[in-house]
Amino acid sequence: MVSYKELGLVNTREMFAKAIKGGYAIPAFNFNNMEQLQAIIKAAAETKSPVILQVSKGARNYANQTLLRYMAQGAVEYAKELGWEKPQIVLHLDHGDSFELCKSCVDFGFSSVMIDASSLPYEENIALTKKVVEYAHQYDVTVEAELGVLAGVEDEVASAVSHYTKPEEVVDFATRTGCDSLAISIGTSHGAYKFTPEQCTRDPKTGKLVPPPLAFDVLDAVMEQLPGFPIVLHGSSSVPQEYVDMINSLGGKLPDAIGIPEEQLRKAAKSAVCKINIDSDSRLAFTAAVRKVLTEKPGEFDPRKYCGVARDFMEELYKHKIIDVLGSDGKA
């Protein structure tokens, strides 16, 4: 048993309370590799932003759970080396799908876990979430739960259709499970294709898709039921068109890739939404950079030359999210 406290990590409790009061959101960035982690930590250290490092099932399969945890431990030391005296870093399990997995993460030094039982019937979601909460809270590890279903595909989490969270269920769910934060479904979705062209309109000038707005009425109703309770938004990449265009112009094929407009995320961040999950945008930044370097220098064969540029692209992206979208800069 390793406590996250020994590793210099923190849980989300105080971070979320401050974020709700301060009208900003904490960035939750997924990581799978060293360059991504370096970029996240550099961006957070430079902007003095609290940050949540997320490990998904796909990341565990790709990079190995043990290795990722040691990388997060190393990230705390790296942040200090960068001059961030008291780093506010959470290591979070993204989309945990069983009690055993959540328990293993708690035992291994994660400071926060998500139990995503949102695809189960309501009472089963409550029972499983409660079991995880009871275990995690013994070690002061915070727990995120989910009500409602997001559409889209993210690693191994997939659903064809979304079901908005039912505001009339949230009080009962939060009370009976004891969860610390709640991921809700208001129209965001995982991946780089968040809406079909049929769900969108087209900008007559640019021909680009314009996505439908998020269901802020559902968010408002949830906040009315659970005043001051931490709300989480998954699937919140904005799919920057500059990266999509770069990728497409350099031989890629991402037709009609589309995300959540940043002004909607800005609006959400000012509310009780205090954790915003972003993964796909960094994949796009990474891919755009690699395509650019390899197109411009076809003879390049040193991965450091293109992964280094990818790291710079991601760092810029993370800083932009922190400063211009979530407003978490200077809060750690």
Q: Which stretch binds ligand 13P (CB under 6 A): 61-69, 119-127, 234-242, 265-273?
A: 234-242
Please report whether residue 331 would count as binding ligand 13P according to CB under 6 A: no
Q: 199 or 295: whose CB is closer to ligand 13P?
A: 199
Q: Per CB under 6 A, which of residues 273..292 are in contact with ligand 13P?
A: 277-281
- Contact between 236 and ligand 13P by CB under 6 A: the answer reads yes
Return d(Cα 129, Cα 111) in angstroms, integer: 16
- Which letter, b or e, does each residue of 181-193 get, where b requires 16 or more Cβ atoms within 10 Å of its Cβ? bbbbbbbbbbbbb
**Pick from 35, 94, 180, 315: which binds ligand 13P (CB under 6 A)?**
94
Classify each residue of 26-43 as buried b or exposed e, where b means 16 or more C-beta atoms within 10 Å of its C-beta: bbbbbbbbebbbbbbbbb
Binding flag, residue 30, ligand 13P (CB under 6 A): yes
Query: At closest approach, how far in Å is the CB of 329 from ligand 13P?
Result: 20
Binding residue (CB under 6 A) for ligand 13P from 235, 265, 274, 287 = 235
Closest of 314, 234, 240 to residue 277, by C-alpha = 234
C-alpha–C-alpha distance, residues 87 and 83, integer Å:
9
Tell me whether residue 180 or residue 279 sits nearer to ligand 13P (CB atom).
Answer: 279
Nearer to ligand 13P by Cβ, of 154 and 180: the residue is: 154
Over the window 138 to 157, marking each residue x when it contacts ligand 13P by CB under 6 A and - when it does not, the resulting string is: ----------------x---
Q: Is 107 a catalytic residue?
A: no
Q: What distance in Å separates the CA atoms of residue 169 and residue 165, rounded to the nearest whole number?
A: 8
Q: Are 270 and 21 in contact (CB under 8 A)?
A: no
Q: How far is the CB of 29 from ligand 13P (least distance, A)?
A: 9
Q: Per the structure block, which two tokens stand in for 244?
A: 């999509």
DSSP class of 149? B
Q: Which residues are catalytic?
A: 94
Site residues, ligand 13P (CB under 6 A): 30, 94, 154, 190-191, 234-237, 277-281
